[in-house]
């Protein structure tokens, strides 16, 4: 392939790429035996393929079938005298926050990675090799995430890293990937900078980016009749990118003020007082994880959510947050989500949800796993297509590649390195038969 100049792309992501090849890894649930799926996070039963170091941050995971297949292949190679390296597993470096305020989200996304690895290994692996997860805790800190990436490359020899979860840590790891020339697949990081001014050969982004989110939220704010909007969020890359995009796409409303709080904040009393005094009729927010749970509980007694309309980014419509708040989740809030367990979609989506339910031990599955799941499927398909794990060849194979996912065809744009991942938009409301609220008036946006 000829050399390409990776300049800042223009236009909307994920729309102009050419589908060079469609690889369907999804609709083969019958090939993945039930016992290959752990029943709940952190409980792998008799599965001895999970190994944790003394520090608790070094995790390797094959899946039961993957380890058995790998050991059998290694044994055969030893007996026959053939090259044992042919059966070496393909290590997938995974960097997610597994401690701290967003640990639940990092663990949830990792479930999707595990599920995809189980399915691919059950079907024979990639080019005859099993996939192996080697995970590190980012602690949601850029410096820790960078160090983890360097350690995965130097110690474990990984040629691809999935993650991290957040935009700030994502930018940090992407720089390491650029320097070390290894593939970095970002399943959930939304900052547009990742594949705009910071675009390089080895970075690929699955989630809709902040510039796309900004246009969609601007349209939504106009739709619900917002006139005066105050912007609220954590002071980090995702929020600043999103706010800049909204301010560039004012659609029948004005911005009264922008409020930024430290990432990981838990005390929102000052912010709540300022918002109550602000003349805005609508709050456009992006606080997420444990921060949103605290914000919602602290703001409710003051009537904050009864006097102002709420529109929220950061995919706060995820089951994890809704379940944590239950009846305390603000009624009528408009938001987005990457996946919904109660969405009645295609057979592929139903099969995916059924497998994820077995892994998580409940029918009310999380949202974040579908992003990790898609990342692994893309990487495996690219390696299969390239016939190699060489980062340069895998990166070239990813450009323009299409796969079939639970929610339809995903294509990685050859120029922007962004996928056309769909998202759900809707309004959170109480529904009969459950104490966990759900998104209603759902619309899938691609």
* Shared-domain flag, residues 58 and 164: yes
Question: What pLDDT is stored for residue 60 in this prediction?
Answer: 61
- With H, G, I as helix, E, B as strand and everything else as coil, classify residue 418: strand
Question: What pLDDT is stored for residue 296 in this prediction?
Answer: 98
Q: What is the CATH number of the domain that holds 179?
A: 3.40.50.2300
* Shared-domain flag, residues 230 and 332: yes
Q: Where are the alpha helices (DSSP H) in 45-95?
A: 64-80
Residue 123 placed within a domain: yes
Residue 154 placed within a domain: yes
Low-confidence ranges of the chain (pLDDT < 70): 1-87
Q: Which domain holds residue 44?
A: 24-207+346-415
Residue 277 placed within a domain: yes
* Shared-domain flag, residues 350 and 378: yes
Residue 1 CB coordination number (10 Å): 9
Q: Where are the alpha helices (DSSP H) in 199-268?
A: 210-223, 237-247
- With H, G, I as helix, E, B as strand and everything else as coil, classify residue 379: helix
Q: Is the pTM of this model over 0.75?
A: yes
* Shared-domain flag, residues 200 and 215: no
Residue 47 placed within a domain: yes
* Shared-domain flag, residues 181 and 223: no
* Shared-domain flag, residues 39 and 129: yes
Q: What are phi and psi of 251, to 5 degrees?
A: -130, 75
Residue 145 placed within a domain: yes
Do residues 391 and 160 make contact, with C-beta atoms less than 8 angstroms apart? yes
Q: Give the integer Cα–Cα distance in Å for 311 and 425.
A: 10
Please give the tally of structural domains in the chain.
2
* Shared-domain flag, residues 50 and 195: yes
Residue 128 placed within a domain: yes
Question: What pLDDT is stored for residue 101 in this prediction?
Answer: 85
Residue 195 placed within a domain: yes
HSE, CB side, 13 Å, CA atoms: give it for residue 12.
11
* Shared-domain flag, residues 192 and 246: no
**CA-CA-CA-CA dihedral for 377, 382, 385, 390, to nearest 10:** -130
* Shared-domain flag, residues 202 and 219: no
* Shared-domain flag, residues 59 and 147: yes
Helix (H) or strand (E) holding 270: helix 269-277
Q: What angle do CA 280, 284, 290 make, to 5 degrees?
A: 125
């Amino acid at each position: 392939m000829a050399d390409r100049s990776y300049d800042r792309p223009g236009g909307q992501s994920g729309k102009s790429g050419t589908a060079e090849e469609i690889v369907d890894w999804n609709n083969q649930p019958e090939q993945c035996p039930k016992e290959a799926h752990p029943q709940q996070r952190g409980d792998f039963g008799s599965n001895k393929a999970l190994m944790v170091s003394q520090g608790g941050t070094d995790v390797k995971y094959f899946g039961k079938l993957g380890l058995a297949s790998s050991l059998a292949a290694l044994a055969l190679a030893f007996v026959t005298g053939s090259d044992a390296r042919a059966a070496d597993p393909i290590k997938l470096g995974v960097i997610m926050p597994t401690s701290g305020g967003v640990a639940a989200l990092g663990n949830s996304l990792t479930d999707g990675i595990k599920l995809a690895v189980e399915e691919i290994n059950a079907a024979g692996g990639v080019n005859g090799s099993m996939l192996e997860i080697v995970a590190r805790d980012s602690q949601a800190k850029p410096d820790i995430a960078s160090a983890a990436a360097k350690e995965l490359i130097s110690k474990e020899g990984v040629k691809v890293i999935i993650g991290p979860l957040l935009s700030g840590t994502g930018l940090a790891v992407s720089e390491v990937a650029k320097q070390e020339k290894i593939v970095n697949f970002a399943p959930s990081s939304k900052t547009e900078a990742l594949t705009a001014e910071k675009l390089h050969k080895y970075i690929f982004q699955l989630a809709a980016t902040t510039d796309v989110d900004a246009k969609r939220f601007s349209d939504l704010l106009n739709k619900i009749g917002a006139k005066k909007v105050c912007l609220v969020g954590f002071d980090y890359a995702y929020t600043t990118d999103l706010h800049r995009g909204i301010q560039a796409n004012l659609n029948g409303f004005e911005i009264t003020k922008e409020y930024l709080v430290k990432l990981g904040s838990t005390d929102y009393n000052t912010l709540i007082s300022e918002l109550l005094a602000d003349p805005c009729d609508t709050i456009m927010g992006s606080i997420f994880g444990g921060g949103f749970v605290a914000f919602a509980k602290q703001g409710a007694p003051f009537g904050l959510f009864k006097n102002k309309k709420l529109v929220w980014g950061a995919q706060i419509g995820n089951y994890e947050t809704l379940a944590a708040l239950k009846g305390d989740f603000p009624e009528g809030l408009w938001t987005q989500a990457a996946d919904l367990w109660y969405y009645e979609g295609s057979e592929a989506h139903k099969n995916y949800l059924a497998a994820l339910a077995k892994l998580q031990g409940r029918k009310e599955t999380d949202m974040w796993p579908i992003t990790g799941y898609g990342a692994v499927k893309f990487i495996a398909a690219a390696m299969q297509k390239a016939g190699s794990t060489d980062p340069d060849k895998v990166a070239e194979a990813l450009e323009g590649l299409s796969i079939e996912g639970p929610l339809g065809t995903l294509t990685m744009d050859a120029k922007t390195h962004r996928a056309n991942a769909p998202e759900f938009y809707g309004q959170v409301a109480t529904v009969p038969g459950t104490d966990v609220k759900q998104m209603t008036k759902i619309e899938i946006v691609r």
